[in-house]
């Protein structure tokens, strides 16, 4: 088996206020794999992503990126930040700058934040950003401000920004929860297609079980901070779904 991009062993996370968000989580993702993470609100999905990207330091167990503990050194933590792209439900774009500059901000981890902040970009970097916009079919919007775009367009800009970072893995925290079902598919189609083309691994926290099954190579379901199910989409039966979401589970 090729080395996992991320591997957690016995991961536990207790927030400073004492909330136990994750317990004994063994999770991995291989290069190029697409993993859907599901579970009820509060199950620990976002906390997992924050542990993977180094934002949270585990209270128990370990989180390894490419075989090395995320917090083993400041250099490795920087490598993780550089190689891990993120997209969020709320898009997270900078409002006052153009779409193109938002995408270039994805390069900040590569070139140093000071250049990212003063927007002094080389032609090669601009070409890369324009290529990323082309791949999510939004090049014609490059000069606009984020508020001039629809939600689906903004999320495509966020995908282009993450791509411009040339990441090894894309972490998507409910990337389509704010979008209508048709637009959600357009956005996921773009993200998953590009990840597959480029061999980027992707972890997507999703509230829609049908989207999780459709787009994931593998599904990991959390319940109260623990991994309750891990397997292929076809193995995620209605019985398992009732265990995760309760008796009133109905797909949405």
Ligand X SMILES: Nc1ncnc2c1ncn2[C@@H]1O[C@H](COP(=O)(O)OP(=O)(O)OP(=O)(O)O)[C@@H](O)[C@H]1O
Of 35-43, 77-85, 108-116, 208-216, the window that binds ligand X (rule: CB under 6 A) is 35-43
Nearer to ligand X, 89 or 153 (CB): 89
Tokens standing for 65? 């990126």
Nearer to ligand X, 13 or 149 (CB): 13
**CA dihedral of residues 188, 241, 224, 36 (deg, nearest 10):** -20
Who's near 28: CB < 8 A, 6+ residues apart? Answer: 4, 6, 7, 8
Nearer to ligand X, 142 or 222 (CB): 222
> Hey, which residues between 145 and 204 contact ligand X (CB under 6 A)?
none
Q: Give the interface size with ligand X as a residue count (CB under 6 A).
A: 12
Contact, 106 vs 97, CB < 8 A? no
Residue 154 binds which of Mg ion, ligand X, none (CB < 5-8 A, kind-dependent) = none
Cα 122 off chain centre by: 27
Of 40-48, 65-73, 128-136, 229-237, the window that binds ligand X (rule: CB under 6 A) is 40-48
Nearer to ligand X, 36 or 101 (CB): 36
Cα–Cα distance between 246 and 43 in angstroms, integer? 13
Q: How would you write 193-215 as a 3-class SS string?
A: HHHHHHCCEEEEECCCHHHHHHH
Q: Is there binding between residue 47 and ligand X (CB under 6 A)?
A: yes
Site of interaction with Mg ion (CB under 5 A): 45-46
């Amino acid at each position: 088996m090729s080395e996992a991009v991320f591997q957690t062993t016995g991961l536990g996370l207790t927030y400073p206020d004492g909330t136990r968000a994750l317990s004994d989580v063994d999770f991995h993702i291989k290069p190029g794999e697409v993993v859907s993470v599901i579970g009820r609100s509060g199950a620990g999905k976002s906390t997992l992503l924050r542990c993977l990207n180094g934002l949270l330091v585990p209270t128990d167990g370990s989180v390894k990126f490419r075989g090395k503990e995320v917090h083993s050194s400041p250099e490795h933590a920087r490598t993780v930040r550089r190689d891990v792209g993120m997209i969020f439900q709320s898009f997270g774009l900078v409002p006052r700058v153009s779409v193109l500059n938002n995408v270039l901000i994805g390069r900040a981890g590569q070139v140093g934040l000071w250049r990212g902040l003063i927007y002094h970009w080389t032609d090669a970097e601009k070409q890369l950003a324009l290529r990323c916009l082309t791949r999510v079919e939004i090049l014609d919007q490059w000069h606009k401000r984020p508020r001039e775009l629809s939600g689906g367009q903004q999320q495509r800009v966020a995908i282009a920004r993450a791509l411009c970072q040339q990441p090894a893995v894309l972490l998507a925290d409910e990337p389509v929860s704010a979008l209508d079902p048709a637009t959600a598919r357009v956005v996921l189609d773009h993200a998953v297609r590009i990840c597959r083309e480029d061999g980027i691994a992707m972890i997507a926290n999703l509230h829609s079980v049908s989207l999780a099954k459709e787009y994931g190579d593998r599904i990991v379901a959390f319940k109260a901070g623990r991994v309750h199910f891990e397997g292929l989409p076809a193995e995620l039966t209605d019985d398992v779904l009732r265990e995760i979401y309760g008796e009133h589970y109905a797909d949405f």
